[in-house]
Structure 1
């Protein structure tokens, strides 16, 4: 095996880990792939003869690439951040998972957490993701954000406070989570106002991302308001199926056999505290979601 083939093999061994880093940094599956590909290009252009820890080196390279992408995104962002729901990782609820999905979803990276990460500044997000999620030292992170290790530690600390205060930790019991989602859907389909109230936290938050040009994009707070919205949406839903969205039970809605919406739930103490909805047709199509029958 020549040197180039050996390098490609070593990179491939780290690929799923690198995509997991990029997904947490960017909240976009396609952009995460782009970041990993850029890391491969940089690897091929670099002299790594003195690199003793290639995995660590690649992680910091992906971090730099993602930081640049976040800064570029911030300068050109037009869609309201309040409504934005990051890309989900969706799979059937049969318990199987490929290695890439396993890496992407380690540490229960739910959509509620990714939504909060979107509110962080690029440097804060990088410091938090690399240190708190991947145990990269502040000495290694500091050069990426052009700060001292002490200042980088402060970035991560500020981000951690934001995340802990705004991203609820989901219940660990998957069976109970599915029961709550099933109860919500049954009450929604049946027009059961009281049944919906019973499974919603009084301060539940619903975020509907229907695209930047859609007047349907909104944030709704409070159980009664969310119930009214759920009953309205249910009138248009022809069918649905339960799937796993970022590792927890969620729902795909169908109209005329086509995916028309995705709902992810955050459940704490047997009550739904957050609902994240994506209903932008172009994004749903790009995610390659399963059809109604399979």
Structure 2
């Protein structure tokens, strides 16, 4: 086996972990894949004396590259048309994945969490992701971010408090979420305002991401009545060869609408106390062109 083959095998053994880290930091698979590709280039050209522990080295390189990319994309998002939502990903599980690990993965990639992470500084987001999603020791996070361990502990505490204050509460029961999503589809498809209102919390919000590339509200819609009427109006618009699928996106049930076999929209529901508290509607074709799975990565371990 050649040296290049050995390097590639070692890198591929950690690719899922690196992609998982980069996606949670950046919220877009395309950006995450670019970062992982750059990490490969750094890995393949690194002097072997630099690499004592391949996993630690690759996480450190990926984190620093993701930090640089995050600072760049945050500046671009200030000019984004309408609300910005993370790119939806289908959630894949290994056969050995336990119920606790499923819940852990769902929590770490939920749209509600990723939206809140957008309000953190790039460094706070990196520390939060590495600590909360992957349970890395503070020493390793300090090496990955180029900060002291004491500074990392402060950043972790600040980020954790920030997320706790802003993160909406939601029901974690997947069966309940799936049932509510099915009822939601039936109510919207049937044109029943009263049935739809019965599923929505009074202060429900609808957040739509079209990026100016598709039709969609450019402001957040508030209140059950306004959200319900908007959804019924959308459902009444005919699409060529429509097809609905109930899928699992970012750890929760979602509706995927296809038109002529291509993704048109993804609708995800955040559920709290048995009712829909937030509707996330994604229509930007750049984020729907290839709904891809995000791998399970157990805490402290590569996938």
TM-score range, shorter chain: 0.7 to 0.9
**Does the 8 Å CA contact 2:82/2:217 hold for their aligned counterparts?**
no
What residue ranges of structure 1 are gaps of 5+ in the alignment? 290-294
Matched with 2:227 is 226
- SS of the residue corresponding to residue 253 of structure 1 reads strand
Aligned length: 283
Q: Give distance in 2, aligned partners of 1:171 and 1:227.
A: 21
Matched with 2:248 is 244
TM-score (norm 1): 0.85
Per-residue CA distance 1:207-260 (angstroms, 9 max, x = gap): 101114667322122222211211111111554221111232101124455432
1:149–1:197 Cα change, 3 Å: same
**Does the 8 Å CA contact 2:80/2:211 hold for their aligned counterparts?**
no
**Does the 8 Å CA contact 2:181/2:254 hold for their aligned counterparts?**
yes
1:19–1:137 Cα change, 3 Å: same
Residue 82 of structure 1 and its aligned partner are, at CA, apart by 6.6
**Does the 8 Å CA contact 1:26/1:32 hold for their aligned counterparts?**
yes
TM-score (norm 2): 0.83
- SS of the residue corresponding to residue 13 of structure 2 reads helix
Q: Give distance in 2, aligned partners of 1:58 and 1:170.
A: 34
Residue 89 of structure 1 and its aligned partner are, at CA, apart by 0.9
What does 1:144-155 align with in structure 2 at a 5 Å threshold? 144-155=144-155
What does 1:167-182 align with in structure 2 at a 5 Å threshold? 167-182=167-182
Q: Give distance in 1, aligned partners of 2:10 and 2:72.
A: 30
Q: Give distance in 1, aligned partners of 2:55 and 2:191.
A: 53
